[in-house]
């Protein structure tokens, strides 16, 4: 249903030109959403998929281990949408300090995302509500180091920004003037807490995501934080016991449709088409996560049986195997220190696991070698591989970069 523009354009200016910024309406959408049979069925399927995903914790012996890697995969994917060129293996190697010379700026940016996510989860465990204060705290962590660290981290913007283009006058999208940000974000916070009226949780997450991206309240990091808030909202209301739903891979694979639908909501009011897209993403993402968890459990079991057949070295190799489930890449000295075993014992175990095609040596060196749990890394990395269009300067990711410039108040 096309309701017409969900806001209005207001004229602002900088010394070189005047331009139109988009000022969204307050929530909830008006006229109200129309949940036809198709949307109701989709909402029910999405809620069932969430339930299956939440139940994955009962299948996994160490859910925090799964969460550890899942959070990092989400961080990589969300950052790739913004144009970084780091992979999951880059991040894990960066964190393990096993291989120097990685693209440090990109990896640090992804590492910041992990830290921001963990900060938000920890605060919510302490009983802190999903609020503007929590958003600004997470934003401060998100931009703590590297690119964007000088762009008023932890604060709502006090200047105009824009998306795409070289200036506001030729931008793809210009968010509302900075003087409107606090009013709009305050209204969004009320909507998240079901004021003035309750909205079904998944619909609320979908609507809030569009509104956050439209307001673009920070000078940098809006896309990453906006995607992260979806999972935090589901946890805050008890739909998920652990933050296991992340839509970045779904958005990454459909990035053009994603950006186009955000704009269609703003300019045409087609909330229902966006909701169908979002709910399809919830279903697909939840089902893929459950499938990946089962494949990981099967892999661990099959490899454990391979190791048990090794004979005398099986005991130490099983310990190395268990370590690699927590640390996908390791070196002989690092594993020896972690397991309190001698380096020759670790070397023999890894040699046997290499012959059994359980691990790979990833440096090609004869000394200071680093080993990776190959098939586990492949399962974790699915969807995070960089495609040619992501490193091409003409890719869509380049056109959605956030820009800022001091702007005079509207006339």
Position 386 scores a pLDDT of 54
CATH code at position 261: 1.10.3290.10
253 plus 360 within the same structural domain: no
> Does residue 401 fall inside a structural domain?
no
Nearest to 242 by CA among 289, 298, 189, 294: 289
CA 106 to chain centre: 15
> Does residue 334 fall inside a structural domain?
yes
Tokens of 168: 């506001």
DSSP 356: T
- The answer to whether the beta carbons of residues 317 and 339 sit under 8 Å apart is no
37 plus 120 within the same structural domain: yes
278 plus 367 within the same structural domain: no
For residue 20, the cross-strand partners are 11
Q: Tell me the pLDDT of the chain (411 aa) as tens digits.
A: 788 999 999 999 888 889 999 999 999 998 889 899 999 999 999 999 999 988 877 777 666 666 777 677 777 777 777 766 676 767 777 666 655 554 556 677 777 888 898 899 899 989 999 999 999 999 999 998 755 545 688 999 999 999 988 889 899 999 999 999 999 999 999 999 999 899 999 999 999 999 999 999 999 999 889 988 998 999 999 898 888 888 888 998 898 999 999 999 999 999 999 999 999 999 999 998 888 888 888 999 999 999 999 877 799 999 999 999 888 889 999 999 999 999 999 999 999 999 999 999 988 888 888 899 989 888 877 766 654 344 333 333 333 345 544 443 333
Half-sphere exposure of 315 (CA within 13 A, CB side): 3
163 plus 76 within the same structural domain: yes
Phi, psi (rounded to 5 degrees) for 109: -60, -40
**SS3 of residue 34 by DSSP:** coil
Q: Which residues contact 349 (CB under 8 A, 6 or more apart)?
A: 313, 316, 317, 319, 320
Full residue range of the structural domain in which residue 376 is found: 309-381
264 plus 340 within the same structural domain: no
Q: Which residues contact 117 (CB under 8 A, 6 or more apart)?
A: 71, 74, 75, 138, 228, 243
270 plus 315 within the same structural domain: no
177 plus 315 within the same structural domain: no
Structural domain ending residue among the three candidates 258, 292, 326: 292
65 plus 196 within the same structural domain: yes
Count the domains in the chain.
Answer: 2
275 plus 316 within the same structural domain: no
**SS3 of residue 13 by DSSP:** strand
Cα 19 to Cα 15, 34, 160, distances in angstroms = 11, 34, 11
Nearest to 334 by CA among 147, 121, 110, 99: 99
Half-sphere exposure of 258 (CA within 13 A, CB side): 22
Position 333 scores a pLDDT of 94
145 plus 243 within the same structural domain: yes
> Does residue 400 fall inside a structural domain?
no
Sequence length of the chain is 411
| Alpha-carbon gap, residue 263 to 279, rounded angstroms | 18
> Does residue 389 fall inside a structural domain?
no
CATH code at position 350: 1.10.10.10
Predicted TM-score (pTM) of the model is 0.84
Q: Which residues contact 150 (CB under 8 A, 6 or more apart)?
A: none
Tokens of 150: 């000088």
- The answer to whether the beta carbons of residues 410 and 327 sit under 8 Å apart is no
Tokens of 112: 């910041």
Position 390 scores a pLDDT of 41
- The answer to whether the beta carbons of residues 106 and 85 sit under 8 Å apart is yes
**SS3 of residue 11 by DSSP:** strand
For strands 329-331 and 370-373, give the pairing.
antiparallel
86 plus 163 within the same structural domain: yes
> Does residue 298 fall inside a structural domain?
no
The answer to whether the Cα torsion of 361, 342, 325, 309 is positive or negative is positive
> Does residue 396 fall inside a structural domain?
no
Q: Please report where in the chains the tokens 């098939």 appear, as a residue.
A: 375
Nearest to 352 by CA among 320, 326, 379, 330: 320
Position 15 scores a pLDDT of 81
Helix extents (H) in 8-126: 37-54, 63-81, 88-96, 104-125
> Does residue 93 fall inside a structural domain?
yes
213 plus 269 within the same structural domain: yes
> Does residue 243 fall inside a structural domain?
yes
Position 389 scores a pLDDT of 41
| Alpha-carbon gap, residue 247 to 230, rounded angstroms | 8
Structural domain ending residue among the three candidates 238, 260, 292: 292
């Amino acid at each position: 249903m096309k309701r017409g523009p969900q806001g209005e354009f207001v004229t602002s200016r900088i010394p070189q030109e005047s331009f139109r910024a988009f000022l969204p309406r307050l929530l909830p959408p008006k006229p109200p959403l129309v949940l036809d049979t198709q949307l109701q069925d989709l909402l029910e399927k999405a809620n069932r998929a969430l339930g299956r995903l939440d139940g994955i914790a009962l299948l996994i012996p160490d859910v925090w281990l799964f969460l550890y890697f899942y959070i990092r995969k989400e961080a990589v994917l969300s950052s790739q949408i913004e144009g970084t060129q780091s992979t999951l293996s880059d991040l894990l190697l960066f964190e393990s300090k096993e291989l120097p010379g990685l693209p440090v700026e990109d990896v640090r940016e992804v590492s910041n995302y992990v830290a921001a996510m963990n900060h938000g989860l920890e605060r919510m465990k302490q009983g802190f509500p999903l609020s503007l204060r929590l958003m600004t705290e997470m934003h401060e962590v998100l931009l703590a180091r590297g690119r964007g660290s000088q762009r008023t981290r932890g604060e709502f913007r006090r200047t105009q920004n824009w998306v795409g283009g070289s200036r506001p006058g030729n931008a793809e999208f210009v968010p509302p003037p900075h003087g409107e940000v606090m009013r709009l974000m305050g209204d969004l916070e009320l909507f998240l807490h079901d004021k003035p009226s309750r909205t079904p949780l998944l619909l609320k997450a979908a609507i809030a995501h569009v509104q956050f991206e439209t307001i673009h309240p920070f000078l940098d990091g809006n896309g990453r934080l906006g995607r992260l808030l979806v999972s935090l909202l589901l946890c805050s209301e008890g739909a998920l016991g652990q933050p296991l739903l992340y839509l970045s891979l779904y958005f990454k694979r459909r990035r053009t449709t994603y950006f186009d639908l955000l704009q269609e909501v703003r300019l045409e009011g087609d909330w229902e088409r966006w909701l169908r897209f979002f709910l399809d993403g919830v279903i697909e993402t939840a089902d893929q996560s459950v499938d990946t968890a089962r494949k990981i459990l099967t892999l661990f079991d099959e490899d454990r049986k391979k190791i048990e057949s090794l004979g005398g070295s099986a005991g130490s190799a099983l310990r190395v195997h268990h370590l690699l489930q927590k640390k996908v890449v390791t070196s002989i000295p690092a594993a020896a220190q972690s397991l309190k075993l001698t380096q020759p014992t670790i070397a023999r175990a890894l040699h046997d696991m290499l012959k059994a095609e359980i691990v790979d040596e990833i440096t090609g060196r004869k000394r200071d070698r680093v080993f990776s749990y190959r098939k586990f890394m492949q399962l974790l990395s699915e969807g995070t591989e960089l495609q040619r269009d992501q490193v091409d300067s003409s890719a869509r990711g380049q056109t959605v970069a956030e820009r800022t410039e001091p702007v005079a108040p509207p006339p």
